[in-house]
Amino acid sequence: MRTTKDVVVIGGGLAGLAAAAYLGRAGRSVALVEKAHAPGGRASTQESHGFSLNLGAHALYRGGAAHEVLRELGVRFTGAAPSPSGALALDRGALHTLPSGALSLLTTGLFPLAAKIEMGRVLGSLAATNPAPLAAVPVSAWLRDAFRTPEARRFVGALVRLSTYCADDDRQSAGAALAQVQLALSHGVLYLDGGWKTLVAGLRDAAVAAGVEILTGARAAQIAAEGGAVSAVELANGDRLGAGAVLVAASPRAAAALVPASAALAAHAERAVPVRAACLDVALSRLPRQRPGFVLGIDRPLYLSVHTGAARLAPAGGAVIHTAQYSPELAGGDPERELEDLLERAQPGYRGAIVERRFLPSLIVSNAVVTAEGGGPAGRPGARVPDLDGLFLAGDWVGPTGMLADASLTSARDAASAILSRRALDRAA
Ligand SMILES: Cc1cc2nc3c(=O)[nH]c(=O)nc-3n(C[C@H](O)[C@H](O)[C@H](O)COP(=O)(O)OP(=O)(O)OC[C@H]3O[C@@H](n4cnc5c(N)ncnc54)[C@H](O)[C@@H]3O)c2cc1C
């Protein structure tokens, strides 16, 4: 046994780092093990030739729960909101003005008159609709029942994809999706200067300042238990960390593999259907055109955004463009080719300016679609694993609050509070 800690956290993404920081601040001895050579997980940023490339397009939801946790932990970051002006919609091969207000709705060629009238009403009413009754309704049924014209359905469907990254309309909860669309429309998003590595660095610094020991290149292989309670984390290199509690801040499959005897974890892993995206990210020495800075696919699940339009991510004159095809396993076709065509359409000649190009065909954006069948976010697992005392979970598939990084960070805070409120641990402290 190398050492014994009050808590061992497995996973050094946003969730693991944040939970470790809260626990360290509360006076617990904490070790965090991360299998990669550096913390960050899916919030990592690749640095190359002075460009900062997030792992696919990342935007922080202003007013979301992540923002609140980052503020509480003193994580500093700067960034700006992307401008809606000059944004385009791609529908059946044609580019149109993307409606973002009354004027652009009147002038866009995206909708015929009947749809414009409906959209005028819809854009106003989306914000006022209560998402709670829609928790167990699939997005596809909501779109069919709540909107009259096919154009309005397609447009709201595109807003859902943009806000949730999920194109699985038959599975996703309309209530969860609508709440996410409302968050995006009411507060907007921030693209972060330097990329999401600034959040990782801030959380790591907060954890280290709170006394957390961070071990990188350290893969947890198994969680050992004695008498129905966790006792240690065994690492792949043979080390063993004694633990009063263990927090798994990794995927449902990783959690189930760490405790093969847990029926609860096996069930979570079995049920979770990941939200995936195919991402083509490019760093360019120059931007062929100032506009469009943003293109949203309406009939196809596509996204393009010039992130350097709002954030500092490139040397002078350079540009970073993120493109994505949502849920590629459902979209069909050749995502790499479709994203290249989208880039060429929006930024003709971009190939001549490429400094860095990265295609990632199937990134896991979120570990689990928030399903209608599960009753929306309330159906996600809680922080405490019921069949093993002292075992806790955090991540974007855990807890009743939000999606994406909002879910990761609030579930991390909830897991830290659940661990701190454990009577056994309190007695030992
Ligand atoms: C393309 C893309 C776009 C996104 N866009 C947005 C966005 O716009 N807004 C937003 O809010 N969120 C977005 N996200 C989601 C956001 O990145 C994640 O929600 C967040 O980073 C997840 O953090 P996490 O700590 O929960 O999980 P992860 O980042 O997955 O961290 C888990 C960590 O656990 C480690 N690990 C796993 N198993 C073990 C083991 N056995 N031992 C040790 N370590 C282990 C992994 O290496 C990893 O570092 C996006 C994600 C992607 C991929």
What is the CATH number for 68? 3.30.519.10
Last residue of a domain, one of 186, 210, 241: 186
Atom of ligand 1 nearest to the CA of 408: 26
221 and 344 share a domain?
A: no
- Which protein residue's CA is at the shortest distance from atom 11 of ligand 1? 405
| pLDDT tens for each residue of 328-341 | 999 989 999 999 99
- Mean pLDDT for the stretch of residues 329-356: 97
- Give the residue from 1, 50, 306 showing the smallest Cα distance to 194: 50
Is residue 104 assigned to a domain?
no
Ligand 1 close to Cβ of residue 11 (< 6 A): yes
336 and 315 share a domain?
A: yes
| pLDDT tens for each residue of 124-134 | 888 899 999 99
Is residue 335 assigned to a domain?
yes
Question: Considering the chain, what is the average pLDDT of its residues?
Answer: 95
pLDDT at 321: 98
pLDDT at 104: 85
pLDDT at 423: 58
Q: What is the CATH number of the domain that holds 227?
A: 3.50.50.60
23 and 65 share a domain?
A: no
267 and 377 share a domain?
A: yes
Ligand 1 close to Cβ of residue 91 (< 6 A): no
242 and 351 share a domain?
A: no
Last residue of a domain, one of 324, 350, 366: 366
255 and 384 share a domain?
A: yes
pLDDT at residue 371 is higher than 90: yes
Last residue of a domain, one of 366, 396, 411: 366
pLDDT at 240: 97
261 and 392 share a domain?
A: yes
Is residue 88 assigned to a domain?
no
Is residue 106 assigned to a domain?
no
| pLDDT tens for each residue of 128-183 | 999 999 999 999 999 999 999 999 999 999 999 999 999 999 999 999 999 999 99
pLDDT at residue 425 is higher than 90: no
Atom of ligand 1 nearest to the CA of 64: 11
Is residue 395 assigned to a domain?
yes
pLDDT at 2: 64
Ligand 1 close to Cβ of residue 117 (< 6 A): no
| pLDDT tens for each residue of 81-105 | 998 888 999 999 999 999 888 788 8
Ligand 1 close to Cβ of residue 204 (< 6 A): no
Domain, as residue range, for 11: 3-43+198-273+372-428
Is residue 168 assigned to a domain?
yes
The tally of domains found in the chain comes to: 3
pLDDT at residue 217 is higher than 50: yes
- Mean pLDDT for the stretch of residues 375-397: 96
pLDDT at residue 401 is higher than 60: yes
pLDDT tier at 1, thresholds 50, 70, 90? low
Query: What is the 152 CA–ligand 1 centroid distance (Å)?
Result: 33
Atom of ligand 1 nearest to the CA of 257: 41
327 and 263 share a domain?
A: no
- Which protein residue's CA is at the shortest distance from atom 4 of ligand 1? 58
Is residue 103 assigned to a domain?
no
pLDDT at 429: 44
| Helix (H), strand (E), coil (C) string for the chain | CCEEEEEEEECCCHHHHHHHHHHHHCCCCEEEEECCCCCCHHHCEEEECCEEEECCCCCEECCCHHHHHHHHCCCCCCEECCCCCCCEEEECCEEEECCCCHHHHHHCCCCCHHHHHHHHHHHHHHCCCCCHHHCCCEHHHHHHHHCCCHHHHHHHHHHHHHHHCCCCCCCEEHHHHHHHHHHHHHHCEEEECCCCHHHHHHHHHHHHHCCCEEEECCCEEEEEEECCEEEEEEECCCCEEEEEEEEECCCHHHHHHHCCCCHHHHHHHHHCCCEEEEEEEEEECCCCCCCCCEEEECCCCEEEEEHHHCCCCCCCCCEEEEEEEECHHHHCCCHHHHHHHHHHHHCCCHHHHEEEEEEEEEEEEECCCCECCCCHHHHCCCCECCCCECEEECCCCCCCCCCHHHHHHHHHHHHHHHHHCCHHHHHHC
352 and 385 share a domain?
A: no
Ligand 1 close to Cβ of residue 220 (< 6 A): yes
Ligand 1 close to Cβ of residue 281 (< 6 A): no
- Percentage of residues of the chain with pLDDT beyond 70: 98
288 and 361 share a domain?
A: yes
pLDDT at 341: 98
- Mean pLDDT for the stretch of residues 420-426: 68
Ligand 1 close to Cβ of residue 381 (< 6 A): no
pLDDT tier at 13, thresholds 50, 70, 90? very high
Number of other residues whose CB lies within 10 A of the CB of residue 194: 18
Question: Where is pLDDT greater, at 120 or 343?
Answer: 343
- Which protein residue's CA is at the shortest distance from atom 20 of ligand 1? 405
pLDDT tier at 343, thresholds 50, 70, 90? very high
pLDDT at 244: 96
280 and 350 share a domain?
A: yes
- Mean pLDDT for the stretch of residues 112-128: 87
pLDDT at residue 269 is higher than 80: yes
279 and 355 share a domain?
A: yes
Is residue 94 assigned to a domain?
no
